[in-house]
Amino acid sequence: MKQRYIFFDIDGTLKAGGYDNAYIPDSTKEALQRLRAAGHKLAIATGRSEAMARGYLKELGFENMVSDGGYGITIDGKLRSITPLPKELVVQLIDECNAHNIPWALQIENSTTRQAPDSRFEESTHDVYMATEIINGLDPRNHNNIYKAYVACRATEEQYLPTLNKLAWCRWMEEYIFVEPADKAYGVRKILEYWGADAKDAIVFGDGINDLSMFVDDWYKVAMGNACEELKERADYITTDVDKDGIWNACKELGLF
């Protein structure tokens, strides 16, 4: 069987149940085992920070990962690099937030905790995605590496933040936005280059709007049944939902084991 290089998003692709009831379907775990037995090389491709995704890496036996929206690279179990956001743009964005009294937080290190200058971000969002540490006087100017920013603005307030037009960001929650890299294809290419692999032998699996960045014509693209419509339009193949054996069914249909 020809060796393939297969990249999986986490949320909604490998993982079902959302944030509150997250689980990995048994059929997905079995499919991953069979793919490895068939000699394929596997990797995660997630928007999550490396620290936030590390548990899934270990739980599912992966050694390779594209994290941080494409800008984090883990190969053979070792984190090789994370490229931070452009500092000057983050400074501009936070200055705009301060001018309009919009709460914000930053991720200034690779960890499961973000940092905020006061309690307003937590009070505005009541968010449980990750812990927030209060650092009095926090200023992005004092930190060379800023990996993500979080802005507690509603859609109607985005007009006050023109620097958003120069940064990649997503609105996963009504209460706030994630400012983070969004080029998973960049990370996929980096790992394929390390492996000496041809892009046409790669396969990517995804479901969300942030997976659009890796649904490019360089390789084969599989959308989950629960994927957004924009992703399905770009897909080469659409499988069943994540909680309806989507990974297993696609791998069987594509003859990967």
User: What predicted TM-score, i.e. pTM, was given to this entire model?
Assistant: 0.94
Q: Which domain CATH number covers 132?
A: 3.30.1240.10
Using the 3D structure, point to which of 163, 179, 195 is the last residue of a domain: 179
Boundaries of domain holding 9: 5-83+182-253
Phi, psi of 10 (to 5 degrees): -95, -75
Q: Examine the domain organization and report whether 113 and 92 are in the same domain.
A: yes
Query: 16 and 46 in one domain?
Result: yes
DSSP notation for the chain: ----EEEE-TBTTTBBSTTTT-B--HHHHHHHHHHHHTT-EEEEE-SS-HHHHHHHHHHTT---EEEGGGTEEEETTEEEEEPPP-HHHHHHHHHHHHHTT--EEEE-SSSSEEEESSSHHHHHH---SSEEEE-TT--GGG-S---EEEE---GGGGGG-GGGGGS-EE--SSS-EEE----HHHHHHHHHHHHT--GGGEEEEE-SGGGGGG--TTSEEEE-TTS-HHHHHH-SEE---GGGTHHHHHHHHTT--
Provide the token pair at 198. Answer: 């041809």
Q: What is the pLDDT of residue 129?
A: 86
Are residue 118 and residue 192 in the same domain, yes or no? no
Tens-digit pLDDT profile for residues 130-182: 999 999 999 999 999 999 999 999 999 999 999 999 999 999 889 999 999 99
Between the alpha carbon of residue 168 and those of residues 26, 85, 163, the distances in Å are 34, 9, 10
Check residue 172 and give its pLDDT: 87
The answer on 92 and 43 residing in a single domain is no
pLDDT per residue over 101-140, tens digit each?
Answer: 999 999 999 999 999 999 999 999 998 889 999 999 999 9
In this structure, the answer to whether residues 94 and 53 fall within a common structural domain is: no
Compute the average pLDDT of residues 186-210. 97
| Tens of pLDDT, residues 205-214 | 999 999 999 9
70 touches 182 (CB < 8 A): yes
On whether both 71 and 188 belong to a single domain, the answer is: yes
CA 165 to chain centre: 20
Whether residues 54 and 170 share a domain: the answer is no
- Number of domains within the chain: 2
Please give the Cα distance from 109 to 90 (Å, whole number): 15
For residue 23, what is the domain's CATH number?
3.40.50.1000
Nearest of 211, 198, 238, 224 to residue 5 by alpha carbon: 198
Find the mean pLDDT for residues 225-237. 98
Q: Are residues 20 and 72 in the same domain?
A: yes
- CA end-to-end span of the chain, whole Å? 8
Q: Residues 70, 194: one domain?
A: yes
Contacts of 45 (CB under 8 A, 6+ apart): 7, 8, 9, 65, 66, 70, 184, 187, 188, 204, 206, 211, 214
Query: 125, 144, 179: which is the final residue of a domain?
Result: 179
Residues 245, 168 share a domain: no
Name 26's Cβ contacts closer than 8 Å, sequence gap at least 6: none
Q: pLDDT per residue over 233-252, tens digit each?
A: 999 999 999 999 999 999 99
Residue 245 region by backbone torsions, left for phi larger than 0, else alpha for psi between -120 and 50, else beta: left
Same domain, 136 and 243: no
pLDDT above 90 as % of the chain = 96
Query: Last residue of a domain, which of 179, 203, 232?
Result: 179
Same domain, 95 and 171: yes
